[in-house]
Amino acid sequence: MRLLQKLKIQTKDGQVKPFKLNKAQLHYQQHRTGRDIILKARQMGFTTFEQLRKLEKALLRKNHTTATVAHKRDKTQDIFRMAQYAWNALDDNFKAAYTVKFDSVRELAFQNTNSRYFVDIELRSGTVQDLHVSEVAFRKDLQKLFSSTLETVPKDGDITLETTANGLNEFHELWLEAVEGKNEFTPHFYNWLWDAGYTQDTPVSDEWIGHYREVADKYALIRDIDTRFNLTPEQFYWYYLKAVRLKEEVKQEYPTTPEEAFLTSSRTVFDLIDIANLQAAEVISKEKGVLIFEQPIVNNKYIIGADTSEGVGRDYSTIEVVNVTDTGLAVNVASFRDNKIRPDQLAQQMAWLGRKYNNAFLIPEKNNSGLTTTIKLQNMNYPNMYQKTTVDKKTNKTQNEYGWRTMASNRDLMIDDFIEAFEEGTIEIRSPYAINEMKTFVRKDNGVREHDDGFHDDSLFALFLAVQGRKYYRSRQPTIQNAAVIGI
């Protein structure tokens, strides 16, 4: 029997019992890699588990330092008491074999093994073989944490980052990178359904079910959570009570999906469950920085939407290519994103990509720096580009305006058309950039739909434009000189 299972804890209801792994802890124990991120619902017991696991290591291994870093000073002693209680509750004969060299308010050191366990708010020196960072999403100095505390852990040491979510902050980016396999950490998500204790006996009347739907609609919760996740009536009623009490914050405190966990103060435009089911396509090649998911097919029709930035390292210039099939399905076949490319260079990129994809129909946004991109495409005599024709009522003369100008009068239309295509399944989204931006595309308090603070929606707008291009595309291949007259 492992020492871990001999250690005692105080349970939520105040009882003293030998520690026993719950379902979530057991799953994590079996799947941890040594570089792990745990995103969780409240009170899943991971902080307790980490303290006892570290105490066990300090007792059984020689020259081993284990530590937990708390996000606030006043939490350090609370966390330390978990391990201190377990140590004090051990049999006196067992403890007699160890000489406690130093026992402070936040440290236990054992002379026999020359190992120690401690809790602090940061580490700046020394070596820690096993590190746990508690509530990492609530730290405001995440980059500093990485450059100081995490650097104390050697290559073969263990790092566990554990937390509930705290909005769309730096930790959210860290989590997404882990999910996409772009950093060293393995992501583990444990929602409230992992805790068998999260149930409540249901009342005789089922009027509460209708009330839950109202609460869900008001606070952007998962309206049909009971059927989507096969909840028992007792689980559903427990969640209903939490939703009524916590309202919007129930998503953060007791999330059902990882995406939901991060979104508390904003209203997501797209259904989080539907987004969770999207998967970026395999990149079969990368050409001139463009992710290619599918090479062009002879005689197929393609549309390219582009959103332009100034190329100074802030917003991104983006291109999304879609294949318009005979069935009406638009398939995302290529994607490009760069925040350093100049508007004139983006035109060259679009023209090259357009010609690659059978002289694709281009629909560049011409607002601001996009005007440079559009004019450059005209000067290059690209043969197939969106235009809007207007008629001067006084002179009756027509004027062609190339490129798409996003205005208050058509912005919502662009978004609504894309939402309709997405919900009806007439567009297949493969771009990892666009999929991630859909997760953080929200309705602000003023009603505007755009990226949440600190995020982007540039690739998404390139797809919005591609969907508009599908509406106005003509079967024949016009030249710039005889392009079809398009009015909106």
Q: pLDDT tier at 92 (50, 70, 90 boundaries)?
A: confident
Same domain (yes/no): 297, 160 = no
- Which residues are CB-contacts of 96 (< 8 A; sequence separation ≥ 6)? none
- Which residues are CB-contacts of 393 (< 8 A; sequence separation ≥ 6)? none
* Residue 190 tokens, joined: 């444990």
Report if residue 238 sits inside a domain.
Answer: no
Q: pLDDT tier at 22 (50, 70, 90 boundaries)?
A: very high
Same domain (yes/no): 65, 170 = yes
Number of domains in the chain: 2
Same domain (yes/no): 169, 297 = no
Report if residue 280 sits inside a domain.
Answer: no
Choosing from 190, 205, 226, the residue where a domain stops is 190
Same domain (yes/no): 173, 26 = yes
Choosing from 190, 209, 242, the residue where a domain stops is 190
Are the CB atoms for 51 and 82 separated by under 8 Å? yes
pLDDT, tens digit (0-9, with 9 covering 90-100), for 94-137: 888 888 887 777 899 998 889 999 999 888 778 999 999 999 99
* Residue 179 tokens, joined: 């999910």
Same domain (yes/no): 20, 151 = yes
Report if residue 256 sits inside a domain.
Answer: no
| 325: CATH | 3.30.420.240
Report if residue 99 sits inside a domain.
Answer: yes
Are the CB atoms for 276 and 258 separated by under 8 Å? yes
Are the CB atoms for 372 and 355 separated by under 8 Å? no
Same domain (yes/no): 304, 438 = yes
| 157: CATH | 3.40.50.300
| 479 pLDDT more than 50 | no
**What angle in degrees, to the nearest 10, is found between the helix axes of 408-424 and 458-472?**
90
Q: Cα separation of 272 and 251, whole Å? A: 11
Q: Considering the chain, what is the average pLDDT of its residues?
A: 88
Which DSSP category does 401 fall into? Answer: E
pLDDT, tens digit (0-9, with 9 covering 90-100), for 390-439: 766 777 777 788 999 999 889 999 999 999 999 999 999 999 999 989 98
Report if residue 250 sits inside a domain.
Answer: no
Same domain (yes/no): 322, 451 = yes
Q: Cα separation of 444 and 447, whole Å? A: 5
Sign, CA dihedral 28-31-33-39, equals negative
pLDDT, tens digit (0-9, with 9 covering 90-100), for 174-215: 998 999 898 999 999 999 999 999 999 999 999 999 999 999
Sign, CA dihedral 29-33-37-39, equals negative
Q: What pLDDT sits at residue 477?
A: 44
Choosing from 190, 220, 238, the residue where a domain stops is 190
Query: Coil, helix or strand for 415?
Result: helix
Range of the domain at 185: 3-190
Report if residue 431 sits inside a domain.
Answer: yes
Mean pLDDT of 147-160: 91
Report if residue 178 sits inside a domain.
Answer: yes
Phi, psi of 109 (to 5 degrees): -125, 140
Same domain (yes/no): 300, 175 = no
Same domain (yes/no): 185, 296 = no
Which range scores top for mean pLDDT: 32-41, 244-253, 275-284, 440-449? 32-41
66-70, 87-91, 212-216, 289-293 — which is least confidently predicted? Answer: 87-91
146-160, 232-246, 282-296, 344-358 — which is least confidently predicted? Answer: 146-160
Are the CB atoms for 54 and 132 separated by under 8 Å? yes
| 478 pLDDT more than 60 | no
Same domain (yes/no): 319, 174 = no
Report if residue 96 sits inside a domain.
Answer: yes
Mean pLDDT of 308-332: 90
Same domain (yes/no): 400, 297 = yes
pTM of this structure:
0.65
Same domain (yes/no): 152, 295 = no
